[in-house]
Amino acid sequence: MFHVSKLKEAKATDAFPDRVQVDRPDAVTKLDGHDAWYVEEIVGKKVLAKKKVFYQVKWEGFPEWENTWEPKTTLIKQARELIEHYEGQQL
């Protein structure tokens, strides 16, 4: 932990000329008052303690390293078909 006064504004630099800057897409919609993006694909699944199910999501327009683990409860309304497709592939 450190005090906010220790933060500095980031400055553009040419120190890493080969590094590619990835532009992230803007939110495509609002969901419950929050920015939201489309799910492109479900690429993984894990079950944690108390049988909580999480799916690894590939977001549309984002590179694979931006995939995130999301709880099934937040995805079931918007990505039901993608979850069913993923589950069908695992059989």
For the residues of 6-37, what is the DSSP string, one character each? G-------SS-TTPPPPPPPPP-EEETTEEE-
Q: Walk me through the domains of the chain, giving residue ranges and CATH numbers.
A: 40-91 (2.40.50.40)
Per-residue pLDDT of the chain (91 residues; tens, 9 = 90+): 778 888 888 777 777 778 776 677 888 888 788 888 899 999 999 999 889 999 999 999 898 999 999 999 989 888 999 999 999 887 5
Residue with tokens 């592939």: 89
Which whole-number Å values give the CA distances from 36 to 14, 82, 91, in the listed order? Answer: 33, 17, 30
**Does residue 44 contact residue 68 with C-beta atoms inside 8 Å?**
no
Which pTM was predicted?
0.70
pLDDT at 91: 57
